[in-house]
Amino acid sequence: MSLLLFCVAWTVALVVSVPLAMLGLQCFIALLPIRPLPRGERRRVAVLVPAHNEASVLKTTIENVKRQLRPDDRLVVVADNCIDTTAHIGRSAGAEVIERTDAQQRGKGFALNAGVRYLEQSPPEIVIIVDADCELENSAIDELACAVVGTGRPVQALYLMNMPSQPGPQATVSVFAFLMKNWVRPRAMQSMGLPVLLTGTGMAFPWKIICDAPLASGEIVEDLVLGLEMTRRGFGPAFCESARVWSDLPTNPEAAVVQRTRWEHGYLGSMLSHTPKLFWSGLSQGRIALLLVGLDLLVPPLALLVLVSGLACAVLFIISLWTGDARALFVLLSTGGMAALGIALCWSRFASHLIPARVVFTIPGYVLGKLGIYRRFFGHRQTEWVRTRRDGEVEQPK
């Protein structure tokens, strides 16, 4: 019995401690100066905007993008399975628009593939993908284009969420969790000279890489899977912190749940299916970078990591009382403490001006509020792409 408890204790401690240690390491490295990306000459760009029923936001996004384009650049909107005026608004705003209708192959990946196939008629040197509800900071297009030429690799912009005008506790924690995932962790990976995960918008690619990329997929996190595939091929994405893209966090509770469910179910599914492949490829090919990207992918969403860590501590505490051996609990508490300290320091460095310290007291409620999302992952996992309804938008008929 004691041997069985010993094995259980150390298995739990190691399984939970690995992502905690990776996150803690990333937090501390993110505090250091970031490794600058090589820059090249600004080349001809095509901005690709996949849009599914985005009539309420598309015009603003097009105007924002057009201000950063040069005369020989292109802006292409893919109106994908739209039943609203998305295509008309795109053309009226000055974009090239292609319309795609396929009830069986739905999702962003299929829209992107249609856009790239359209660009084959007159290929650009760089393709930048921007979601239809995003705002690019000034010079973001130039920053991404120069970074792609300088590195010869895909490049991911810094993608952040705007804080709602009247944020509740859940929205505030969500914005911070998003910042940790999309800023702190990629910044650390870039500082170590490692590939980063793609985050869905503000993604730039050399034409020679994107033209034959596996885009037409039904993945609900197609960007994440695409980045992992490119990393395995030796074209791991780089992180361009100076190019920033913003989006609004849904304030409608139902829309927020839809968005979080898609993100987290997609991420967890990819983590379970792709981490073993990365580890195997890294070991068999002797590519340390693949092992480290696998460890990065192994870090789950922050709320889930907090939940699992708390449950693991409770289990190990009970086992330590039963056996009198608290070494496994000590290891877990040490890695958990390192991660907590790293998160606190990153909050101070990157988010203290935006997120008050008292938000820490709302974290338990935020974690408990996500129990339904995680329960559905094991009982009724979302596998199909579902668009998030924008704030103030009337729900479209199905």
Residue 2 has what pLDDT?
78
Residue 253 has what pLDDT?
63
Residue 387 has what pLDDT?
58
Q: Give ranges for CATH 3.90.550.10 in the chain.
A: 45-253
Per-10-residue mean pLDDT of the chain, 398 residues long, equals 85 96 97 92 96 93 96 96 94 95 86 95 96 94 97 97 81 90 97 94 96 82 90 95 91 69 83 93 94 96 92 95 93 97 96 86 82 77 60 51
- Which two three-digit tokens encode residue 351? 């988010």
- Which two three-digit tokens encode residue 388? 């998030």
Residue labelled with tokens 């695409």: 226
User: What is the C-alpha to C-alpha distance for residues 352 and 354, in angstroms, rounded to an integer?
Assistant: 5
Residue 388 has what pLDDT?
59
- pLDDT, tens digit, 9 for 90 and up, residues 295-350: 999 999 998 999 999 999 999 999 999 998 999 999 999 999 999 999 999 999 99
Residue 398 has what pLDDT?
45
Residue 261 has what pLDDT?
80
- pLDDT, tens digit, 9 for 90 and up, residues 6-17: 899 999 999 999
Q: Which CATH class is domain 45-253?
A: alpha beta
